[in-house]
């Protein structure tokens, strides 16, 4: 669509209501999904988690507060709702410099300080040749991998959200995780931050697996390194480019 719309007006079913389930449809032949008819579907495909889209608008001056720039856009819980949102927002390639999209599990703010992020980190990659990359396609595939839960195994519970940053010299896409696979000082040997009591080695294995899957989604060649860094290290360095803990 060439014109932006108010996202609160997007219906989650064709009639603008809460939608119908297959159990409420007497004739199975009348069931239509978004895959059968993108405009006249009558059932939804629920996601494993509810997801919230956030947007960071460019700062207008040095005195701008981060909380004023970060805007919660909409929360959705089905495939159909995702496409309704995606088809009515500006593509990454048309965003102003210093803009960001954040897609996070509901209840998790895209901030280092959030309780579910504070012991975590992120895999990230910067595309420095902006003219040669289809950032819209890549960002779509990363979002689909996140909401489709294909970046990790069901029991891992690591992926918190995905982020795309629009900067003058690059596009950067990242996957935020709950942990860094690191032992918490003062706790048991098998206690990894937010890691449900798993060992450090197991935590590291899970994070590396997420990194490899993320690298595949980004279609990066084997020679390119994808880096993982902890949020705490980034905060201490005053930069999102903290020293990498892992690479794949």
127 neighbors 135 (Cβ within 8 angstroms) = yes
Dihedral, 121, 69, 67, 239 alpha carbons, nearest 10: 40
Sheet strand arrangement including 171-177: 70-78, 46-56, 99-105, 159-166, 171-177, 121-127, 227-230, 246-247
* Domain coordinates in residue numbering, the chain: 12-21+29-247
Digit-by-digit pLDDT tens for the chain (248 residues) are 334 444 444 444 333 444 444 444 445 557 776 667 766 767 788 999 999 999 999 988 776 777 889 999 999 999 989 999 999 999 999 999 999 999 999 999 999 999 999 999 999 999 999 999 999 999 999 999 999 999 999 899 999 999 999 999 999 999 999 999 875 554 444 445 445 678 889 999 999 999 999 999 999 999 999 999 998 776 555 555 556 688 99
Pairing of strands 171-177, 227-230: unpaired
Contacts of 82 (CB under 8 A, 6+ apart): 47, 51, 76, 143, 147
Give the model confidence (pLDDT) of 101-111 as tens digits: 999 999 999 99
Q: In whole angstroms, what is the distance from residue 193 CA to residue 113 CA?
A: 14
97 neighbors 56 (Cβ within 8 angstroms) = no
Contacts of 107 (CB under 8 A, 6+ apart): 52, 116
Q: In whole angstroms, what is the distance from residue 31 CA to residue 29 CA?
A: 6
Provide the pLDDT for residue 61. Answer: 74
Domain 12-21+29-247 has CATH 3.30.760.10: yes
Provide the pLDDT for residue 14. Answer: 37
Q: What tokens were used for 88?
A: 């009515």
């Amino acid at each position: 669509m060439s014109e932006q719309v108010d996202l609160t007006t997007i219906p989650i079913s064709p009639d603008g209501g809460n939608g119908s389930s297959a159990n409420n449809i007497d004739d199975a032949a009348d069931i239509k999904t978004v895959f059968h008819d993108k405009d006249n579907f009558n059932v939804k495909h629920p996601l494993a988690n509810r997801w919230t889209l956030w947007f960071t608008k460019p700062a207008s001056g040095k005195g701008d507060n981060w909380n004023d720039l970060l805007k919660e856009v909409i929360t959705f819980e089905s495939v159909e709702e995702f496409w309704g949102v995606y088809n009515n927002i500006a593509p990454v390639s048309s965003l102003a410099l210093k803009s960001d999209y954040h897609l996070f599990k509901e209840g998790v703010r895209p901030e280092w300080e959030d309780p579910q992020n504070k012991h975590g980190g992120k895999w990230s990659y910067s595309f420095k040749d902006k003219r040669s990359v289809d950032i819209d396609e890549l960002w779509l595939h990363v979002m689909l991998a996140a909401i489709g839960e294909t970046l990790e195994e069901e029991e891992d519970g690591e992926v918190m959200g995905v982020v795309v940053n629009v900067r003058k010299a690059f596009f950067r896409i990242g996957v935020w995780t709950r942990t860094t696979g690191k032992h918490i000082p003062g706790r048991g040997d098998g206690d990894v931050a937010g890691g449900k009591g798993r060992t450090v080695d197991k935590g590291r294995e899970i994070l590396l697996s997420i990194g490899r899957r993320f690298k595949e989604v980004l279609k990066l060649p084997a020679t390119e390194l994808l880096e993982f860094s902890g949020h705490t290290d980034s905060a201490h360095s005053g930069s999102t480019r903290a020293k990498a803990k892992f690479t794949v």
